[in-house]
Amino acid sequence: MQVRKKRPLSARDSAGRAGEPVRFARSPCPIANLLDIVGDKWSLLVARDLLRGRTTYGQLLDSPEQIPTNILADRLKRLEKAGIITRSPYHQRPVRYAYQLTKKGRDFSDLLSAIVRWARRHLPETRTFEEVLAARVRGSLARRGNTNDGGTE
């Protein structure tokens, strides 16, 4: 097995400055580099929840996927270091932080929408949170005897 040292590749940074060395972990491939930042099981789910308006550690922890606390803390640090989220204290004793997507992080909405479209096409049993909520509301109305779903009677 041959071991090669990684060398910096010349590329444009996110601000568009040419000629500065950029260290890519594997290659300059956009997909590989995105995966180096958010290619784990949890990071895109954290971004999804932030896009849905969740802002605190407790709200993010309450996700239906049940992210472990140590992994949530790690992913928040990783996403902050990558410039995808920011945090600001909202309580001093003990210090508690609110998390917010940066412009870079809000741009994930396009990526997540593409993933949803693909999953809807190829994984037909998947449902969005909005669809799950709407089904619960319809079920609740039906149990109460109010079966009018907006159609003609």
Write out pLDDT tens, residues 22-56. 677 788 899 999 999 999 999 999 999 999 999 99
Q: Hey, what are 100's tokens? A: 């917010």
* Helix orientation angle between 69-81 and 43-51, rounded to the nearest 10 degrees: 80
pTM for the model: 0.73
Categorize the per-residue pLDDT at 148 as very low, low, confident or very high, splitting at 50, 70 and 90: low
The sign one gets for the Cα dihedral 121, 126, 128, 131 is positive
Q: How many residues make up the chain in this entry?
A: 153
Q: Which two tokens stand for residue 123?
A: 């994984």
**Rounded to whole angstroms, how far apart are CA atoms 96 and 91?**
5
